[in-house]
A and B are shown apart, each in its own frame.
Chain A
Amino acid sequence: MSNSKILANGVDVYYGSKQALFGISMDIKEKEVTALIGPSGCGKSTFLRCINRMNDLIEICKVSGSIKVDNEEIISEKTDVVSLRSKIGMVFQKPNPFPKSIFDNVAYGPTIHGLVDSKNELEEIVHSSLKKAGLFDEVKDRLNEPGTSLSGGQQQRLCIARAIAVNPEIILMDEPCSALDPIATAIIEELIDELRLNYTIIIVTHSMQQAARVSQKTCFFHLGELIETGETNKIFTNPDNTKTQDYITGRFG
C-alpha cells in the first residue's frame, strides 16, 4: 500500500499492570479523515495519544508494538519525539489556548522551531494559519487580545490554527467538539472537511453522527480492542461485526 501514512501493528498499552489496548493494528491512509469511535474507556484516546507519544507524559504508561509514520518506527527509544510532534499536530478535547495573545498563541510553534527568520514571515504564517482555521476574519482586529477571551468555538479554532502553524502532516483530534455548542461544532466539522485536502486527520469522537459526517474511514474500539475498521459508509450501514452493529444502533455505549 503506497499511500499508507500511519501503520500500527500489534500495539499494546499498559497503565501500570492494567492493559488498556490489546494488539491494535491499523492502516491509516494519507489525506483522509479517520474516525475512532467506541464507548467511554475503550482506549480510542489512548491509541490516539500513542501516535504522537503523548502517553510519555504519564509515568505509569507503557507502550509496546510498532507504529510506523511514513515508514519510520516511532515506538522506540531512538525516536526524536520533538520532531515527531512537530510533524503531528494535536487538538485537544477542551480548548487550551495559552494565556497569551491570539497572535502569540499561533506564533508559539513557528518560533520555537525556528521556522521563520523575520517578523514579516512570522506574521505571514500566523495570518495564513488563522485563515486556514477559518478564524482570521473574526479576530484580525484584535490579534493582541488574550486567546482566552475568545468564545469556546473560536478558542478551539485558535488551537487548530496553532497546530497547523508548524506545518504538520497529520492532525490528531481528541473529541474536539465535545465542549462546544452545535453551531460551533458545525463550523469545526466544516473546517475538518477542508483541512482533509492537505492533512491526514485522525479524530476521536463520541458522536456517531459526527463520525458519519466528517470521516472516510471509521474504526470501532471496544474494551481496548479494535473490533472493526472500514469505510465509514459501510460501518454505519452494514457492519460485519455484531458488536459494531449494537453500538451504532445504540444498544450499548
Chain B
Amino acid sequence: MFFWSLVLIAVGIFSSFIYGRSRIKLNSKKQGTKSKSLPNYYAQYVLMWCLFPALIVYFSWAIFQEQIIQNIVISNFEFIEGAVYNEGLLLAEIRNVANNPSFADGKSIEIINAASHYSSLKQISQISFYTSIIIMMLLGALYASQKLKPEFHAQHTIEKYIQYILIFCSSVAIFTTLGIVFSLIFESLRFFAEVSISEFLFSTEWYPFIPIREGQTAAEGSFGAVPIFAGTFLVMVVAMCVAAPLGLLTAIYLAEYASQRVRKTVKPLLEILAGIPTIVYGFFAFVSVAPFVKAFGQSIGIDASPTSALAAGMVMGVMIIPFISSLSDDVINSVPQSLREASLGIGANKAETIKKVILPAALPGIVGAFLLAISRAIGETMIVVVAAGTAPNLTGNPFENVTTVTVQIVVALIGDQEFDNPRTLSAFALGLVLFVITLFLNIIALQIVKRYRERYE
C-alpha cells in the first residue's frame, strides 16, 4: 500500500511540475509581460504545494493507521465475562486470522468477528488513504495555481521554502539526540523506582537476576554497578597504556621526523585502523590475543582466565591509536613553524626542540586527543563483549575476567524479556551513566582543543 502511494505521489508531483511550467508561460503570454522569475521556479512552487500535503497524509497514515484500527477493534470486541485476556496476544491473534483466513479454524467466534472487522477497517483506511492523497495534492496544486501570475516572485518564495527544508533536516539530528536522552532518562527513572540510586552507584554486588515466576525466591536481583564501572575503568586504563605512548610517539614521528612522502602514505594507513569494524578487533582479541595473554600469565605464575581485561584492553588500545596519533599529529603540525625555527636558531637540537618547545605548546591539544580517545574506549562494545568476559568482578588484576558497562547493556537486552523489570531496565540506567560520562569527556576535550586553537590563530 505504501509503495503504490509513493508511485502515486511521484506521478502527482511530476505532472504538477509540468503543469506549473506551462501554466506560467501561458499566463505571461496572455498578459504580454515577462514573469518575475524563471518558469522553473513557478513549476517548483506548484510541485512543493503538491508534495508536502501528500507527504503529511502519507506519514500520518504510516504512523497512526495501525494504532487507530487496533483501538477500534479492541473497543468493539465482545469480551466474554470472566475470561482473562492479554491484549497483545489477542491483537496478534486477530491480525493473524485477518491476514491469513486459514488460521481461522478452531478460533472462537469473537475472534473471527473481530478479524473481519479488522479487515474491513483496513480496507476503508486504504481507500480513504488514496483518496486523501489525491485530494490533498489537487488542493495544493489548486492553491498554487492561483498564484501563477507573472508579477508573483516565485523565486523568493521557493528560497524561503528551501530554507525551511534545510532547517527541518538539521533539526532531525538534534531532535533524535534529545529523544534518545529523554528515553534514557525516563526509562532510568523507572529503573530507579525499583532499585535505589545509592544501591546502583555504591553497592558492589551485581546479580541482575530476577525471579521469573511469582513466589520464586531462588534469586533476588542485586544491582550494584561498582564492579561494572571498575571493569570499564580497568579496560580503559589498559587501552590507554597501549594507545597513549604508541599514538603520541607515532604522531611525533609523523609530524617532526617523517618526510612528506612517508607522512602522506602512513597517515591514511593508520586511519584505516580506525575503520576496521570493532567486531573484527573483537575476535582478533579473543582468538589471538587472549590465549597469548593466558599463556603469558601462566608463564609468570599468574592464573589468567581465557578472557581478560588485558586482552580486551590491549586490542582496544590498538584500535584507538589512530584517534590519538591522527589528532596529535594535527595539533603538533599546527604549532607554528616560527617556534621551531626560534628553538633551532638558538642551537637546540631536534629532540630538545620537541621536548621543550613543541610538546608544551601542543599539550592542550594532545590532552584533548587523549580525552576523546578515552571516551571512545569507554563506549566501545564489541571488543569487550567478545574478549573481556561477562563476570562482574571487582578486581584490579588485568588477567582476570571483568565486565564493562557496554557489555552489561548487551547482556541485559539479550533475550525476550519485556521492558518491565529491573534487569532489562538496568540497561537504560547504565546507558545513562555512560552517556553522561562520555558527554563530559567530550565537552572537556573540545573545550581544551578550542582554547588551544584560539591561542595560535
Contact = CB atoms under 8 A, between A and B. Distances in A.
Interface of A: 52, 54, 57, 59, 82-87, 89-90, 92, 94, 96-100, 108-109, 112-113, 148, 159, 162-163, 166
29 contacts: A54-B345, A57-B344, A82-B347, A82-B348, A83-B347, A84-B347, A85-B345, A85-B346, A85-B347, A86-B347, A90-B341, A94-B338, A96-B339, A98-B342, A98-B343, A98-B357, A99-B361, A99-B455, A108-B343, A108-B357, A109-B348, A112-B348, A112-B352, A112-B356, A113-B347, A159-B342, A162-B346, A166-B346, A166-B347
A59 B341 contact: no
A80 to B, nearest CB: 10
A109 B338 contact: no
B396 interface: no
Given A92-B342, A99-B361, 4 more contacts: A54-B341, A85-B345, A109-B346, A112-B346
Contacts of A85: 344-347
Contacts of A84: 347
Contacts of B455: 99, 148
B299 interface: no
A163 B341 CA distance: 12
Contacts of B345: 52, 54, 85, 89-90, 92, 163
A59 B356 contact: no
A108 B361 CA distance: 14
Contacts of B259: 59
Interface string B320-346: 000000000000000010111111111
B356 to A, nearest CB: 7
Indicate the member of A57, A59, A82, A162 with the most B CB atoms within 10 Å: A82
Given A59-B260, A98-B357, A100-B360, A86 B338 contact: no
Contacts of B352: 112
A162 B348 CA distance: 12
Contacts of A54: 341, 344-345
Given A59-B259, A82-B349, A166-B347, A96 B342 contact: yes
B346 A86 contact: yes
A101 to B, nearest CB: 12
A104 to B, nearest CB: 9
Interface in B230-281: 259-260
Given A85-B347, A162-B346, A163-B345, A108 B356 contact: yes
Contacts of A92: 338, 341-342, 345
Contacts of A87: 347
A87 B336 CA distance: 24
A82 B343 CA distance: 11
A98 B346 contact: no
Contacts of A57: 340-341, 344
**B336, B341, B360, B455: which has the most chain A beta carbons within 10 Å?**
B341
Given A59-B260, A92-B338, A112-B356, A98 B361 contact: yes
Contacts of A163: 345-346
B347 A109 contact: yes
Nearest to B342: A96
Contacts of A108: 343, 346, 348, 356-357
Given A108-B356, A112-B352, A162 B342 contact: yes
Contacts of B348: 82, 108-109, 112
> Residue among A92, A112, A166 with the most chain B CB within 10 A?
A112
Given A82-B347, A86-B346, A109-B346, A99 B338 contact: no
A59 B349 CA distance: 17
Interface string B337-374: 01111111111110010001100110000000000000
A57 B346 CA distance: 14
What 6 pairs across the A-B complex have the smallest Cβ distances? Answer: A86-B347, A96-B338, A90-B345, A85-B347, A109-B346, A96-B342
Contacts of B336: 96
Contacts of B346: 85-86, 89, 108-109, 112, 162-163, 166
A44 to B, nearest CB: 17
Contacts of A94: 338
Contacts of A109: 346-348
Nearest to A113: B347
Contacts of A148: 455
A13 B362 CA distance: 33
Nearest to B350: A82
A89 B346 CA distance: 6
Contacts of B340: 57
A86 B347 CA distance: 5
Chain B CB within 10 A, most for which of A86, A87, A108: A108
Nearest to B348: A112
A88 to B, nearest CB: 8
A94 B340 CA distance: 13
